[in-house]
A = this chain, B = another copy of it.
Amino acid sequence: MLTQLKIKDFLRDTEVFSTLEDESLERLSKNAIEINYSKGKLLFVAGDKAQHFYVVKSGWIKLYRETLDGNMAIIDILSSGQIFGETALFESDSYTYSSEIVEDAGVIAFPLHDLQKEFRTNNALTFAMLEYVTSYSRRKEREIEHKTLQSAPQRIGCFLLRLVPSTTSGSIVIHLPYDKTLLAARLGMQPETFSRALNKLKEATGLHVKGATIEIENIDRLIKFTCSACSSEYPCQDKCN
């Protein structure tokens, strides 16, 4: 288990809290606890009364909503260093999405009340959070753009390019971060649409796929195929998947 001191260090390594002063990190960490969950665990359901916000330490966590007719929309799939649940502060203390562990995960749970208290007086924190949410909005705008203007193969291409270090040239081997069914759902595609699109992408760009391993023979070919239908130039700034 992490001590409060280590939790503080961990918080400092996250994108959103990295610029905070030591005392702010200390106040936020003092009532935090580490919890480990197994795959399949439902952490909370949209509408639940919220007590905590979370930072992911390890594993993968799916945020999603369900429609009345039983379909699921994935909002995000999070890994180490990402936060979730904090938006409940702006929604009458209720979670705005459901959260499920999709690969065994460790999370750190922070009382929402401590964050709320900090927001009242700590402008540096409020501003850091504003920057973070603004950048998140930008990624969501990009996702809408891609859903409107990119083909399914291009959207898979974009997902793969985000896994490639931006200095890469020539060929590279990458590994999918989670299984293809989850990836299809993350991209809002039916599994069969995803399979067809992946095949088209292979033909168009010379990818080789073996399980979760993907060999990109010619990165420029993949960029040309994918990024022509995007308003951002490669390498793009909003690189988080």
**Which residues of A approach B to under 8 Å, CB–CB?**
46, 65-69, 71, 73, 75, 87, 90-91, 96-97, 119-123, 126-127, 129-131, 133-138, 140-141, 143-145, 147-149, 188, 227-231, 233
Residues of the B chain whose Cβ atoms lie less than 8 Å from the Cβ of A66:
231
Contact indicator B144/A188 (Cβ below 8 Å): yes
Contact indicator B230/A144 (Cβ below 8 Å): no
Chain A interface secondary structure, helix, strand, loop or mixed?
helix
Contact indicator A134/B87 (Cβ below 8 Å): yes
Residues of the B chain whose Cβ atoms lie less than 8 Å from the Cβ of A137:
87, 133, 136-137, 140
Shortest distance from the beta carbon of A157 to any chain B beta carbon, whole Å: 14
Q: How far is the CA of A145 from the CA of B97 in the complex (A)?
A: 12
Contact indicator A149/B90 (Cβ below 8 Å): no
Q: Closest 8 A-B residue pairs measured CB to CB?
A: A65-B231, A148-B188, A140-B140, A73-B145, A123-B123, A126-B126, A130-B130, A69-B228
Number of copies: 2
Q: How far is the CA of A26 from the CA of B30 in the complex (A)?
A: 39
Which of chain B's residues has its CB closest to A73's CB? B145
Name the contact of A71 in the complex, choosing from B73, B138, B149, B188 (C-beta under 8 A).
B149
Given A123-B126, A130-B130, A147-B188: A69 and B138 interface contact (C-beta under 8 Å) = no
Residues of the B chain whose Cβ atoms lie less than 8 Å from the Cβ of A231:
46, 65-68, 73
Which of chain B's residues has its CB closest to A237's CB? B91
Q: How far is the CA of A147 from the CA of B75 in the complex (A)?
A: 12
Shortest distance from the beta carbon of A133 to any chain B beta carbon, whole Å: 5
New A-B pairs, 14, CB < 8 Å, besides A66-B231, A68-B228, A75-B141 = A67-B230, A73-B148, A73-B149, A87-B138, A96-B138, A119-B130, A120-B123, A122-B123, A126-B130, A130-B130, A140-B141, A140-B143, A140-B144, A143-B144
